[in-house]
Amino acid sequence: MKKTVLILLAAVVIWSCKEKQPMETESQAESSLPSKGSIEVIDRQLEMVLNVEAPIEVLAEGYSWSEGPLWLAKQKMLIFSDVPKNTIYSWSEEKGAGVYLTPSGFTGENFAGSEPGSNGLTLNNQGELVLCQHGNRAVSVMKAELSKPEPKYEFLVESYEGKRFNSPNDLIFDRSGNLYFTDPPYGLPGGMEDPGKEIPFQGIYRMTPQGEITLLTAELSRPNGLALSPDEKTLYVANSDPEKAIWMAYELDEAGVIQSKKVFYDVTEWVPKAPGLPDGLKVDDKGNLFATGPGGVWVFSPEGKHLGNIKTGEATANCAFNEDKSALYMTADSYLLRLKLK
């Protein structure tokens, strides 16, 4: 009896140790598509968020720098930016990949830089496509139907206090129609040192449906992707600075103004170890964060617990859910990827 008890106790100790170790799983589920990468389980809670055995499917490849994925529910189609190509591409189960809209971010002539195209994409409360346009240095709305896209744009906002933006990067509307967006210098031909840079900082802004623009904060060196919590009381913002690679959590009041802040998670030490920086992010209905960072997509609980990583092996720019959040689409350098969720 004593020997049996000791064996059982030893088994429990071994299992407990295993529970605390990160677990990396190769894709096991069947798929007709090629796959790449793996899922790293840091906390078992990840299994409640996604299927850790699902493959990371390669839907399309060959892009210069894929960004800004957005699911169009009525069209059953994903669209995403290729920033250097100044083009938005589409992908659907029925038609595969193809050109959706060009030019997407610069409508002038002779752009001198390397990133003229659109970046973040979203829909406003009227169902129109709204784009962060690097080359035009503006947030614009496409004045055409989603099913019949045309490069006809109307600027929603292009300046702050009379000075042109750097290059609006990512954006999100809340349920009341307020627009939040970031403005790093990545689209400027000379970046931070560009002679045409008119605003001396990199801001996070909020614009009301009436067009009133508020600078929420200018404290981040490279504000990039952003997302709201399900109750819209917290604004998450990625800082894509290799010297300070963090995600911030800003608590908002009823007017959408920052009341308090904290560093949600810091991955600066991981920057030399894997490709990519904190970039685009999305939040699911339960408040879990899917945040692109070094090596792929980092998954966090609302409390900031690191649950695991979707390891794409690429510098991963952004991600997006489909309509029922049963799949996560990822733009990872030259790839468009998909992971089916729970």
In this predicted structure, the answer to whether residue 292 has a pLDDT above a threshold of 50 is yes
Q: How far apart, in whole angstroms, are the C-alpha atoms of residue 301 and residue 299?
A: 7
Please state, in angstroms and rounded to a whole number, the distance separating the CA atoms of residues 322 and 55: 17
- Bigger pLDDT: 14 or 321? 321
Q: Please determine, for residue 337, whether its predicted confidence score (pLDDT) is greater than 90.
A: yes
Q: Is the pLDDT of residue 16 over 50?
A: no
The whole-angstrom separation of Cα 233 and Cα 261 is: 12
Report the pLDDT value the prediction gives residue 42, as an integer from 0 to 100: 98
DSSP for 170-224, please give it: -EEE-TT--EEEE--STTSTTGGG-TT--SSS--EEEE-TT--EEEEE---SSEE
Is the model's pLDDT at 13 over the cut of 60? no
| Residue given tokens 């029925």 in the structure block | 94
Q: Which regions of 253-288 does DSSP assign to beta strands (E)?
A: 258-266, 281-283
Looking at domain 24-340, its CATH architecture is: 6 Propeller (2.120)
pLDDT digits (tens, 9 = 90+) for 24-38: 544 445 678 999 999
**Mean pLDDT of the residues in the chain:** 92
Is residue 118 pLDDT above 90, yes or no? yes
**pLDDT at residue 237, as a whole number:** 98
The reported pLDDT for the residue numbered 30 is 60
Nearest to 163 by CA among 200, 217, 191: 200
Q: Identify the residue with better confidence: 26 or 212.
A: 212
Q: Output the 3-class SS for 287-340.
A: CCEEEEECCEEEEECCCCCEEEEEECCCCEEEEEECCCCCEEEEEECCEEEEEE
Identify the CA nearest to 194 among candidates 114, 308, 86: 114
What does DSSP say about strands 258-266 and 66-72: parallel, antiparallel, or unpaired?
unpaired
Q: Is the pLDDT of residue 22 over 60?
A: no
Express each pLDDT in 162-209 by its tens digit.
999 999 999 999 999 999 999 999 999 999 999 999 999 999 999 999
Quick check: helix, strand or coil at residue 276?
coil
Of the candidates 159, 196, 75, the one whose C-alpha atom is nearest the C-alpha of residue 168 is 159
- Cα(333)–Cα(339) distance, rounded to whole angstroms? 16
Cis-peptide into 189, omega within 30 deg: no
The per-residue pLDDT for 31 is 72
How far the first Cα of the chain sits from its last, in Å, is 43
Percent of the chain with pLDDT over 90: 90
What b/e readout covers 22-46, taking b as 16+ CB neighbours within 10 angstroms?
A: eeeeebeeeeeeebbbbbbbbbeeb
Predicted local distance difference test score (pLDDT) of residue 12: 36
Closest CA to 31 of 57, 59, 68: 57
Q: What is the pLDDT of residue 5?
A: 37
Dist. CA 245–CA 295, nearest whole Å? 13
> Which amino acid, one-letter code, is at 295?
G
Question: Cα separation of 264 and 247, whole Å?
Answer: 5
Flag whether pLDDT at 334 surpasses 50.
Answer: yes
